[in-house]
Amino acid sequence: LRSSLFSWPGKLRMALDLVLPRGLDPDESLGAFVRRRLGRQALERVAQPLVAGIYTADPDLLSLAATMPRFLELERRERSLILALWRAARRAPAENHEASGARWSLFVTFAEGMEELVRALQSRIPPGAVRLKERVTGVTREGGRWRVATAEGHAAEADAVILACEAHQTARALRYTHPSLALLLEGIPYASSATVTLAWRRADIPHPLDGFGFVVPQTERRPVIACTFSSVKYPGRAPEGSALLRVFLGGAMNEGVLEGDDETLARLARGELAELLGVRVPPLWTRVGRYPRAMPQYQIGHLARVEAIEGCVRELSGLALAGGAYRGVGIADCVRSGEDAATRLLETSTSSRG
């Protein structure tokens, strides 16, 4: 009630959640759900910027059942979201909150960055088992075995294949083997984004950086989605006396900003941080990263599409799909997806031999 983020009319509208009935739509968009239960301000000032930061998505297209089913379950079980969250908080065990916010952060990563995970995986793979910089042009079934062909003219045969690519890449590889499956895969949309990472002397940033970053509501019509205070979020990311910030741009609701070249994006990020954080001096270091068609968009109907995809895959012995396009975009989701795919193929192979 004391928050200045919402007006009093906005707060009163949110309070209506206490008396509103349950919804009936089993596959409602996140935007429609939040607007229905908590009102427009809750959507525009909290839900939309948070969803943009996680999924780089348009909340009015994003399937709640595919991305945040817990909220649907809370509504089904408790009817009111506010009551459900209040009761959940009362049931939660008491925690010691005397420590600083940084020590209680939910954000974790590897000490030397995500490359640590890649290196660890690489160390477990036999030499020569991975072919780099070869584009797969087709995955076909020939004589009871799978054949993987590349644009460089190479081919490999195997009893089983796991395709852990983006959905549109998997569609291209299977377009002749199973056209219906390829069409379903191609129908999963993707959003593009970019990051601009900048380093400054800590003394050159007047903002206290008393958090892990910020997200930006679409209603502010700014080109940035969010900014992470990387050296605060993950200690050790910058030398003592320095600060590392990462700005996110693009996403499903603002892909046009990515048409600029790297210098344009870097200049845009510097301008936004000058206005929002008061940083007026040039950065010590800047790096731009681009991620074209990198984030799958779990739009309304996604779960039904995934079930149809899985049905088609069951028709193809020795084939499995894995990755972030289907049932979760996080690292843990992708690891689980890969393990499930391998387990299915091993079980199928064992049963067929038995």
User: Which one is predicted more confidently, 354 or 178?
Assistant: 178
In three-state secondary structure terms, 184 is: helix
**Contact assessment for residue 150 and residue 308, using Cβ atoms and an 8 Å cutoff:** no
pLDDT of residue 129 exceeding 80: yes
Q: Are strands 161-163 and 136-142 parallel, antiparallel or unpaired?
A: unpaired
Residue with tokens 């200690």: 235
State residue 289's pLDDT score: 98
- pLDDT tens digit sequence for 100-120: 443 444 678 888 888 999 999
Rounded to whole angstroms, the Cα distance separating 34 from 42 reads: 7
State residue 260's pLDDT score: 95
Write the burial class of residue 229 (CB in 10 Å: 0-12 exposed, 13-18 middle, 19+ buried): buried
Residue with tokens 């008396």: 19
State residue 100's pLDDT score: 42
State residue 270's pLDDT score: 98
pLDDT category at 340 given cuts 50, 70, 90 is very high
User: Which one is predicted more confidently, 328 or 354?
Assistant: 328
The DSSP code sequence of 9-39 is: HHHHHHHGGGTPPPP--TT-BHHHHHHHHH-
pTM beyond 0.85, yes or no: yes
Rounded to whole angstroms, the Cα distance separating 309 from 91 reads: 39
Percent residues over pLDDT 90 in the chain: 84
pLDDT of residue 155 exceeding 80: yes
- pLDDT tens digit sequence for 292-311: 999 999 999 999 999 999 99
Spacing of C-alpha 159 from chain mean position:
32
Alpha helices (H) in 219-330, listed in sequence order: 230-233, 262-277, 302-314
State residue 168's pLDDT score: 98
State residue 2's pLDDT score: 80
pLDDT category at 94 given cuts 50, 70, 90 is low
Domains of the chain: 8-91 (1.10.3110.10), 133-188+298-353 (3.50.50.60), 190-296 (3.90.660.20)
Taking the CA atoms of residue 352, residue 156, residue 309 and residue 323 in that order, the dihedral angle to the nearest 10 degrees is 110
Mean pLDDT of the residues in the chain: 92
pLDDT of residue 354 exceeding 80: no
- pLDDT tens digit sequence for 55-91: 999 999 999 999 999 999 999 999 999 999 888 888 8
